[in-house]
Amino acid sequence: MERLTVLGAGSWGTTLAELLANKGFDVNLWVRKEELRKAIAERRENSVYLPGIKLPENVLAISSLEQALKGSEMVLSAIPSHGLRAVLTDARHFIGSNAVIVSATKGIEEGTNLTPCSIIKEVLGAGSYRDTVVLSGPSFAKEVSLRLPAAVCAASASHDAATLVQSVFSTAYFRVYTNSDLMGVELGGALKNIIAIASGISDGLALGHNARAALITRGIAEISRLGAALGANPHTFTGLSGLGDLVLTCTGPLSRNYSVGKAIAGGKTLEEITGAMRMVAEGVRTTKAAWSLAGGLDVEMPITEEVHNVLYMGKPPKKAVMELMMRELKSE
C-alpha cells in the first residue's frame, strides 16, 4: 500500500488525509474547487474546513480525478451523500479493479433511499473494484485532527478488507475495530443525525437532560427497528457506530446536526440555517429519506416522523414535542 486517495476536502476528508500522511502514506487529496486546492497547496492548510492544522508535504492536493486516482490501491470517499453519485460517475473510469473503496460518507441518498455503499456498488458496478469498507463511529474531525483519542469501526462483508483498513487507519489516538455488519454500521452513522437534530431542538427549547436522555434511548430503538427491517444486526446499534455516534452527535456542540436543531428551536428557518453553513448537515436530507424508507417498510419511527414534520411540513417544534409525549401509551 503506497498511495491512497481521499475524495473530498471537507473537514473529515482533510483530517483523514492528514492522519494517513502522518503514518507515512503518500495521500492524494481530491479537492473539487481549484481555489481551495491552490490554497491548500500553498499554505499546507485547509483554512476553510480545518483551520489551524498543518498538512504534511506528502498530502498532495489535486483537482483532477484522473490524476488523484491513478495507481491508488485504496480510495476513501468523504463526499457528502447528495454529491456522491455524481463524483463516482466521473471517477469510475479511473478506479482500479484492485482498489479497496472506503466509505466515510454518513447519509442516505434522497430519492433512491440508498446508503453510500449501495450507491458505490450501483455506480461502479460489482467486480470493478476489490471490496467496500465503511469507516464510521463517534469522531468529530476537529478532535481527531488534534490527536485526541477516538474509536471507530471498519465494517465490511470481507474480513480481509476490514482488517486491512483497520491496520491502515489505526494510530495511537485513532483506534479502529472491525465489524462484519456493513449495513448496520452505515445506517447507524446516517440515522443518528436525525436524532441529533431532535436533541438540538430539545436543548434549544430548554427541555432538560431528562428529555435528551429519552430522545437518545428511544432514538436507538427506532434506528434498530429500521435497521432490522433492512437486514442489519440490531446489536450493531449498541456499538460505536450506533450508540457511540448517537451520544456524541446528540450532546456535542461540534455536531452540525445538533446545531441545526438548536437553531430551528430558536426560530430560524431551515433555509436560513443551511444557507449560512459551509459544511453539510447530513441529517437534513437523511430525515426525508429515512421517513420515506420507514413508510415503505411500515416501520414505526415517531421521532424521525416529527423531525420530518418540523423540517419539511412547517410544524412548530413545541407542538412536535407535545405530540411525541402524548402518543398512545405502550410497553418499552
Specify whether 147 is located in the same domain as 245. Answer: no
77 shares a domain with 173: yes
The proportion of the chain whose per-residue pLDDT surpasses 70, expressed as a percent, equals: 100
CATH code of the domain containing 294: 1.10.1040.10
Q: In what order do the strands lie in the sheet with 3-7?
A: 59-62, 26-30, 3-7, 74-77, 100-103, 131-136, 150-155, 174-179
Q: Which of 131, 161, 180 is the last residue of a domain?
A: 180
In a domain, 310, yes or no: yes
Same domain? 226 vs 260: yes
Catalytic sites, residue numbers? 192
Average pLDDT (167-189) is 98
- Same domain assignment for residues 304 and 236: yes
Q: Is residue 299 part of a domain?
A: yes
| Predicted pLDDT at 262 | 95
**Residue range of the domain that includes 31:** 3-180
**List of E strands, 8-91:** 26-30, 59-62, 74-77
Q: Same domain for 227 and 261?
A: yes
Number of separate domains in the chain: 2
| 40 and 128 inside one domain | yes
Q: Which one of 147, 180, 213 terminates a domain?
A: 180
- What burial letters (b/e) apply to 87-110, b meaning 16+ CB within 10 Å? bbeebbebbeeebbbbbbbbbbbb
For 251-296, the pLDDT digits (tens) are 988 899 999 999 999 999 998 998 888 777 899 999 999 999 999 9
* Whole-number Å distance between alpha carbons of 14 and 78: 9
Say whether both 300 and 271 belong to one domain: yes
Whether residues 194 and 310 fall in one domain: yes
Whether residue 72 sits in one domain with residue 147? yes
Residue 185 lies in a domain: no
The mean predicted confidence, pLDDT, of the chain is 95
d(CA 251, CA 231): 29
Distance CA 118, CA 12 (A): 21
In-domain check, residue 330: no
Domain end (from 180, 202, 234): 180
pLDDT tens profile 104-135: 999 999 999 999 999 999 999 988 899 999 99
For residue 332, being part of any structural domain is answered with: no
Please report, for the domain that includes residue 54, its CATH number: 3.40.50.720
Whether 135 and 72 share a structural domain:
yes
Cell numbers found for residue 189: 452513522
* Secondary structure (3-state) at 255: coil
* Domain identity same for 273 and 155: no
- For the entire predicted model, the pTM comes to 0.94
Q: Do both 134 and 110 map to the same domain? A: yes
Q: Which amino acid type is present at position 177?
A: Y
Which residue, among 53, 58, 73, has the nearest Cα to 28 in the 3D structure? 58
Helix (H) or strand (E) holding 135: strand 131-136
